[in-house]
Amino acid sequence: MARRSLPILKHLLQSSKTSSSTTTSDLLHPFVSKRSVTYMPRPGDGTPRAVTLIPGDGIGPLVTGAVEQVMEAMHAPIYFEKYEVHGDMIKVPQEVIDSITKNKVCLKGGLATPVGGGVSSLNVQLRKDLDLYASLVNCFNLPGLPTRHENVDIVVIRENTEGEYAGLEHEVVPGVVESLKVITKFCSERIAKYAFEYAYLNNRKKVTAVHKANIMKLADGLFLESCREVATKYPGIKYNEIIVDNCCMQLVSRPEQFDVMVTPNLYGNLVANTAAGIAGGTGVMPGAEFCACRQRRG
């Protein structure tokens, strides 16, 4: 802002020496008239960049279509490489994976997943193939969208690659199915570091770890142990913990108490959707998934 204001200030000072009768609005008029209504700072050299686009299923094409219209109206220096991927496919085509890896940015609508059978979730496949370990959803009050609660501004950061979503299931004997929950120290520390670093860089004051370590003492206990170790490296950020069932109750009664929340995989899915519903719905809350490997996907 200071850089953009400096030429205007210099012009005002120079003009005031030559003409004391000129008003401020007259001096500012040439600059105001030249500024585009859709102006925004553009990083880089302005060369259009490719973005992979997967409209998906359900309302996905409507949401991504609206984004395309906004980008066009803004004259954003991007263009889309569109691929038709749907939840009933056996796997995500390799050309789509290659496009995401090359472009490093992908706009994706939701992919439908069959319930209780059928093919595996392509959403989960993408997370594993691209190591999209961090899911971030920012839930906050929007002007013009009335909700029950005010002052909601919650960031839910969810570990995205393991836990119950590891997909390790098998039938032991007919009528008995075993599903494994996998928690590792590496992934727990990685998501905890991401949460605290996000809080530090975005001037957030508190990180809350969501768990069920009172019952799953080893798995969620390891997750908490990792969060506690990372928390000691960020003394300026308050750290606390909350059991997931109490967390859901607190979310719907006093959501304004939460700032940044870090969770294992399954809990994060539930908490993020609950927080989004409180703030106005999943369709209007921004979210993204991130990979640590810059050469693959930023």
pLDDT tens sequence across 182-231? 999 999 999 999 999 999 999 999 999 999 999 999 999 999 999 999 99
Residue 47 confidence (pLDDT) above 60: yes
Q: Could you give the number of structural domains in the chain?
A: 2
Residue 25 forms part of a structural domain: no
Same domain, 269 and 215: yes
pLDDT of residue 293: 63
Decide: helix, strand or coil at residue 263.
Answer: strand
Same domain, 298 and 205: yes
Same domain, 105 and 181: no
Predicted confidence band of residue 24 (pLDDT cuts 50, 70, 90): very low
Same domain, 120 and 188: no
CA distance 171 to 187: 27
Same domain, 231 and 273: yes
Same domain, 170 and 208: yes
Structural domain span for residue 221: 131-298
Q: CA dihedral defined by 188, 295, 272, 151, rounded to 10 degrees?
A: 110
Cα-atom radius of gyration of the chain, to the nearest Å?
24
Summarised one tens digit per residue, pLDDT across range 236-250 is: 999 999 999 999 999
Same domain, 141 and 125: no
Residue 11 forms part of a structural domain: no
Same domain, 158 and 135: yes
Residue 284 forms part of a structural domain: yes
Of 85-89, 107-111, 134-138, 167-171, give the range with the top mean pLDDT.
Answer: 134-138
Same domain, 165 and 189: yes
Q: Are 291 and 283 in contact (CB under 8 A)?
A: no
Domain boundary among 97, 114, 130: 130
CATH number at residue 148: 3.40.718.10
Overall size of the chain counted in residues? 298
Summarised one tens digit per residue, pLDDT across range 158-170 is: 999 999 887 788 8
Domain boundary among 79, 101, 130: 130
Domain boundary among 114, 130, 146: 130
Q: What is the pTM of this model?
A: 0.79
